[in-house]
Structure 1
Amino acid sequence: MSTPLRLEVIVASVRPQRFAPVVADWFLRAARADGQFEVGVIDLIETPLPLDLSETPESRAYCERIATADAFVVVTSEYNHGYPASLKTALDTAKREWRAKPIGFVSYGGLSGGLRAVEQLRQVVAEIHMVSIRETVSFHEAKRRFDRAGETQDGAAIDAAARLLRQLGWWGRTLREARAVDPYPG
């Protein structure tokens, strides 16, 4: 691998007093330690995207950032058996910039751990021509899984994160090379 893959981690929740930063920071430490990625963060609470999907200087800058990425991971909560509206807006704001790129998911929530949100997201990302990574990191009863320092002893999540990053790296390299040789026809 000549240059690291550009990974953008999208933090989906925009609620006040959200738990997202705890989960996202934990995953970001794992991704940065992995070594195969140059990691950026797109926190939707700090990303002013218009709800009507109109073009603005902010939405253009966002789309340019999406275009330069090789891979994505979404850190998402689950609200009412679904994913946050802010994430749907983020996905719909860009279009061709997503195509032929891999995306993984880190979810958290109550008993379901955000898995219902992830299953809905898999349908959406398929429609925008992305490759959904099979492995998912899921934190059931998330607030009980992290200590005050933002660390977890959840062995299943730690293992899933390592597998997700390996799979994301493989897909990221493979699709980056394929896009360079033969641009995606979508």
Structure 2
Amino acid sequence: MSNPRIAVIIGSTRKTRFADKPAQWFMDRVADHADLDFELVDLRDQDLPFFDEAASNLWAPSEDPRAVAWQQKLAGFDGFVFVVAEYNHSITGALKNALDQAYKEWNRKPMAALAYGGVGGARAVEQLRLIAVELQMVPLRNAVHIGGGDFMKVSPLGEDAPMSAIKDHLQGGLDGMLDELTFWAKLLKDAPKP
């Protein structure tokens, strides 16, 4: 039986985003994961229009081929890790739009978060979890949060140190998240989808 496939979705598309640094750190940490296979999915590369369908694809098939391509891409994954930037106490507009472009493809799959910002992106993760519930995902309790002094240590806005400078602070959250993600991804991989 094959390992569950997990998309690591970079949720910011700004040219000056910080997301690439923690995303690469995460991909390096999970490269040899025994139970899960990870693939980096960058929203910059998806050519998504603003949501403009008649309804969610739960109710009516999407007409824009770019939205359909996104849905088909998501359907091949068994779970998701979102790299989350906190913008004004929430997720980015780009990530919200990407979430809205699909429905069935998110259902009954676990979602985790690697977040950053002033308070570790915690408020954005809480918003993401609410959206995930509506999309019938299984939001995980554990997440990796890069906040406060750790954020300023590795951010270009601060010292711009390598992620290894704060790895010990992130390891507990990473271990908990990966344990939980492995459990749910394996459990739900072959579960019937609506």
TM-score by length of 1: 0.89
Moved more, 2-11 or 31-40: 31-40
Conserved? CA contact 1:145–1:154, under 8 Å = no
* Higher helix residue share: 1
Conserved? CA contact 2:154–2:161, under 8 Å = no
Moved more, 16-25 or 146-155: 146-155
Match of 1:130 in 2: 137
Of 65, 72, 79, 2:73 maps to 65
Rounded to whole Å, the distance in 2 between the matches of 1:176 and 1:155 is 31
Conserved? CA contact 2:85–2:115, under 8 Å = yes
Of 169, 173, 193, 1:184 maps to 193
Match of 1:34 in 2: 33
Deviations 1:103-160 (A, max 9, x none): 00110012x1100000011110000100001101000032414764443434231221
Matched, 1:155 2:168: yes
Name the amino acid aligned to 1:173: K
Match of 1:76 in 2: 84
Rounded to whole Å, the distance in 2 between the matches of 1:153 and 1:138 is 11
Of 163, 167, 171, 2:184 maps to 171
Rounded to whole Å, the distance in 1 between the matches of 2:10 and 2:152 is 17
Note the residue ranges of structure 2 that are not aligned, 5 or more in a row.
54-62
Q: Secondary structure at the match of 1:39?
A: strand
Matched, 1:101 2:114: no
- Number of residue equivalences: 179
Name the amino acid aligned to 1:164: M
CA 1:45/1:152 → structure 2, altered by over 3 Å: closer, same or farther?
farther
Q: Displacement, 1:53?
A: 3.7
Note the residue ranges of structure 1 that are not aligned, 5 or more in a row.
none
CA RMSD of aligned residues (A): 1.6
TM-score by length of 2: 0.86
Q: Secondary structure at the match of 2:141?
A: strand
Match of 2:48 in 1: 49
User: Percent of aligned pairs with the same residue?
Assistant: 34
